[in-house]
Amino acid sequence: MRDLGVDRDRLWDSLMEMARFGATPKGGCRRLALTDEDKAGRDCFVGWCEEAGLTVTVDRMGNIFARRPGRDDGLPPVVAGSHLDTQPHGGKFDGVYGVLAGLEVMRTLNDHDIRTQAPVEVAVWTNEEGARFAPAMIASGVFAGVFDLDFALGRADAQGRTMGDELARIGYAGEAPCGGRALGAHFEAHIEQGPVLENEAKTIGVVTGVQGVRWYDVTVTGQDAHAGPTPMETRRDALVGAARMIGAINRIGHDHLPGACATVGVVEVSPNSRNTIPGEVTFSVDLRHPEAEVLAAIDAAMRAACAEIAADSDLGIEVEEIWYSPPVAFDRDCIAAVRDAAARLGYGHRDMVSGAGHDSCYVSKVAPTGMIFVPCAGGLSHNEEESADADDLAAGCTVLLHAMLARAGIV
């Protein structure tokens, strides 16, 4: 059983097959949640599950569970879950890999006629990306009791179409309750979405948890004025102030290494006219750290720096925190199951903290959870050029197989 491996090429072929649904000319995928492309991808997946003899259930959030019974089928299932939806300019691997690695585990168990003690399942979580319906990870959130079902079904896309209506339209408004049942464990295999494994030539990331994230909207207010006749000495240039703040936020991130990330991703300048001194600038701030206390220190440093620069430049400043996702620590035993499998299989591996959110964050609130990272080229994701190596994907899938077997037990 220690030598048990998955079928590298079958996994790869399934990934490539799935990538045809919503394929983009640049080699990526556009398979937004609950669109026709998502329906086609789901239908394909369900077909594969049925071919593999799995029993498919859909819950009220459209989450799909494909089950392979255990000898003691009353035990809580050990689940491999992730998502099939993508970003608008997404790639072939983010999310999809975790789902199809789960399916490959099932196929491998079938190939070898392995019977598990507890049942095993593959889960597809609806709308992980949040690209069509906000917030992200909404359906795993409902499963975990973070969001109300009615709230979630009522979330609308930019055209005003609700998740409830779109689930019904594509035939994935299931009847099973969303949540309210125990899982023995939840494992999620995923591309790293960062460059660390690639840079260190490691194959497996043993994910111990997820960074805490704090999101802010910052508004800097000065005074619009004509760029020609307004002397430099009398200006209240909101952009010059915002630029200093962006620099300071970057330095604060560096000051709290290792582990800290500080990013300004969005900037809006008003009036954004070539010959007008900007009177108002808004920008986003994204602060991350695996420890809540350090994240709080970064928050304080960021607020102090912005206030000081604003006062120094006679600018108004408003820092509004719009979201806080506390750090997540995964289950010690699930982490150990992943680490042990990677070590036993001889893969180069390291413990790491996920910088991105995943369905596993919410699921970890109601089930013992672990994640497995594999490298992706250049750390790129949310990008049509997202790419991963077939051997690495197979390695991660093999670790998933062994971690699941460790939890489910072999008869």
Q: Is the peptide bond before 271 cis (omega within 30 degrees of 0)?
A: yes
CA distance 80 to 341: 15
Which stretch, 17-25, 100-108, 179-187, 253-261, contacts its own copies (CB under 8 A)?
Answer: 253-261
C-alpha to C-alpha distances, 207 to 30, 190, 201, 223, 322, nearest whole angstrom: 27, 10, 16, 47, 27
Cis peptide bond N-terminal to 368, omega within 30: no
Total binding residues toward its own copies, as defined by CB under 8 A: 63
Which of 227, 307, 343, 410 touches its own copies by CB under 8 A? 227
Q: How far is the CB of 189 from its own copies (least distance, A)?
A: 15
Residues 6+ apart with CB under 8 A from 381: 91, 93, 94, 191, 193, 356
The answer, yes or no, to whether the previous bond of 258 is cis (omega within 30 of 0) is yes
Minimum gap (Å) between residue 156 Cβ and its own copies: 20
57 or 263: whose CB is closer to its own copies?
A: 263
The one-letter code for the residue type at 185 is A
Site string for its own copies, 293-322 (x = CB under 8 A): ------------------------------
Q: Give whichever of 65 and 216 is closer to its own copies, judged by the CB atom.
A: 216
By CB under 8 A, tell whether 113 contacts its own copies.
no
Binding mask 177-196 for its own copies (x = CB under 8 A): ---------------xxxxx
Task: Quickly list DSSP for 79-119.
Answer: EEEE-----TTB-SSTTHHHHHHHHHHHHHHHHTT--BSS-
How wide is the angle at C-alpha 244 spanned by C-alphas 319 and 258, nearest 5°? 80
59 has which bridge partners?
176
Closest separation in Å from C-beta 19 to its own copies:
20
- Which stretch in 32-40, 108-116, 146-154, 265-273 sits in contact with its own copies by CB under 8 A? 265-273
- Assess 244 for contact with its own copies (CB under 8 A): yes
The residues binding its own copies (CB under 8 A) are: 192-196, 199, 211, 213, 215, 223-234, 237, 239-240, 242-244, 246-247, 250, 253-254, 257-258, 260-267, 269, 272-278, 284, 286, 288, 354-357, 378-383
